[in-house]
Amino acid sequence: MIDSIQRFFSDFIAGGGEAGEAGPSLELSVAALLFEVARADYHLDDSEVGLLRDLLQRRFDLAEAELDELMRLARQEAESAVDHYRFVSLIKEHFDYVQRCELVRMMWSLSLVDGEQHHLEEHRIRRLAELLHVSHSDFIRAKLGVQEDASR
């Protein structure tokens, strides 16, 4: 069973969803960008990994084995990607503006879950928000919303 799930993610997700089509799936694109934010400060905290799993589980409703494989592939993609173009372009193609703002909010949640506000994580989120065509005001609104939620 696990082998078939791994083959599914290897073939379908890493292959872009269709045979012969190169590129990541939407799930892998989202996961890779979130992983990129979590590791932007060169320290991947357990709280960040735990929240990343929760966010992906809630967003995509995956079985545990599928989630494990997605996390593995996302980490691999985030560590080996030269740029974010293929991830961002797929997300912009399939997510409307509100969903892209929610993705930026998820990025802020990951950034602040460890109790630190690191400038490298903020810079990465800012750049990704720009690439996703999320306005600066919505970028700030997402940040303040996450900070407000964390203070409760």
State phi, psi for 135 to the nearest 5 degrees: -65, 155
pTM, rounded to two decimals: 0.82
Nearest to 137 by CA among 129, 128, 149, 147: 129
Count of beta carbons in the 10 Å neighbourhood of residue 79: 11
Is the distance from CB of 37 to CB of 107 less than 8 angstroms? Answer: yes
pLDDT for res 12: 45
What residue ranges do the domains of the chain occupy?
A: 2-151
pLDDT, tens only, 95-123: 999 999 999 999 999 999 988 888 999 99
**What topology is assigned to 2-151 in CATH?**
TerB-like (1.10.3680)
